[in-house]
Amino acid sequence: MHDFTFHAPDSLSGALDLLAEHNGDAKLLAGGTSLTTLLKQSLIAPDHIVSLHRVPGLDSIEASNGELRIGGLVTQRDVETSPVVKEHAPLLAEAYRRVATVRIRNVATVGGGIAQADPAMDPPPSLLILGASVVATSTRGERVIPIADVYADYYETTLEPDEIVTELRVPAQPSGAGWTYIKYLPRTEDDYATVAVAAIGSVEGGSIADVRVALGAVAPTAVRASVVEEALTGQTPTLGALREASQAVADIVDPTDDPRGSAWYKRDMSVVFTRRALEQVLGVS
Amino acid sequence: MTTTPVRQTVTLTVNGQEYTREVPTYRTLVDFIRYDLGLTGTKEACSVGVCGACTIELNGRIAASCITLAVRADGADITTIEGVADGDTLHPVQEAFINYGGFQCGACTPGQIMAAKALLEHNAHPTEAEIKEWMMGNLCRCTGYYQIIESIQAAAEAK
User: CA of B90, closest CA in chain A: separation in Å?
Assistant: 24
A101:B2 CB<8 A? no
Chain B residues whose beta carbon lies within 8 Å of the beta carbon of residue A51: 69, 71-72
User: Taking Cα atoms as reference points, which of B117, B133, B131, B49 lies closest to residue B83?
Assistant: B117
d(C-alpha B39, C-alpha B13), whole Å: 13
Distance from C-alpha of B17 to C-alpha of B39, rounded to nearest angstrom: 12
- A167 & A147 share domain: yes
* Cross-strand bridge partners of residue A5: A48
- Report yes or no on A101 lying in a domain: yes
Residues A70 and A166 in one domain: yes
Same domain? A160 vs A244: no
Q: What is the DSSP string of A165-201?
A: EEEEEEEPPPTT-EEEEEEE-SS-TTSPPSEEEEEEE
* Half-sphere CA count of A238, side-chain side, radius 13 A: 5
Residue range B146-156: mean pLDDT, rounded:
97
**Residue A28 counted as domain residue:** no
> Please, are residues B15 and B83 in contact by the beta-carbon 8 Å criterion?
yes
> Chain B contact for A40, CB < 8 A?
yes
Do A138 and A188 have their domain in common?
no
Angle at B2 between CA B67 and CA A46, to 5 degrees: 45
Across the interface, do A40 and B49 touch by the CB < 8 Å criterion? no
Q: Is the pLDDT of residue B1 over 50?
A: no
Nearest chain B alpha carbon to A102:
B134
Chain A segment 128-187 residues within 8 A of B by beta carbon are none
pLDDT at A188 (0 to 100): 79
d(CA A203, CA A234): 9
What residue ranges do the domains of chain B occupy? 7-83, 92-158
pLDDT tens, position by position, for chain A (285 residues)?
788 999 999 999 999 999 999 988 999 999 999 999 999 999 999 999 999 999 999 999 999 999 999 999 999 999 999 999 999 999 999 999 999 999 999 999 999 999 999 999 999 999 999 999 999 999 999 999 999 999 999 999 999 999 999 999 999 999 999 999 999 998 777 889 999 999 999 999 999 999 999 999 999 999 999 999 999 999 999 999 999 999 999 999 999 999 999 999 999 999 999 999 999 999 998
A15 within some domain: no
On the question of a common fold for B7-83 and B92-158, the answer reads no
Catalogue the long-range contacts made by A67-70 (C-beta closer than 8 Å, 24 or more residues apart): A67/A169, A67/A170, A67/A171, A67/A172, A68/A92, A68/A168, A68/A169, A68/A170, A68/A171, A68/A172, A69/A167, A69/A168, A69/A169, A70/A110, A70/A167, A70/A168, A70/A169, A70/A170
The answer to the question of residue A49 being in a domain is: no
Instruction: Read off the CATH number of the domain in which A184 is found.
Output: 3.30.390.50
The architecture in CATH of the region B7-83 reads: Roll (3.10)
**CATH number of the domain residue A89 falls in:** 3.30.465.10
Chain A CB contacts of B110 below 8 Å = none
Is residue A186 one of the residues assigned to a domain?
yes
Specify whether A206 is located in the same domain as A242.
yes
Residues A105 and A183 occupy one common structural domain: no
Please indicate, yes or no, whether residues A199 and A104 belong to a single structural domain of this protein: no
A51 neighbors B71 (Cβ within 8 angstroms) = yes
Around Cβ A230, how many Cβ atoms within 10 Å?
12
CB contact at 8 A, A223 and A154: no
Contact yes or no for B61 and A106 at CB 8 A: yes
Beta strands in chain B (DSSP E): 7-14, 17-24, 55-58, 61-64, 77-79
Residues A78 and A165 in one domain: yes
Domain count, chain A: 2
Residue type, A64: S
Considering the domain B92-158 in this protein, what is its CATH number?
Answer: 1.10.150.120
Task: Indicate whether A82 and A163 sit together in one domain.
Answer: yes
Instruction: In whole angstroms, give the CA distance from residue A252 to residue A233.
Output: 19
Strands A195-204, A178-184: pairing kind: antiparallel
Q: Bridge partners of B69? A: B28
Instruction: Look up the domain containing A130 and give its range.
Output: 61-171
A265 part of contact set with chain B, CB < 8 Å: no
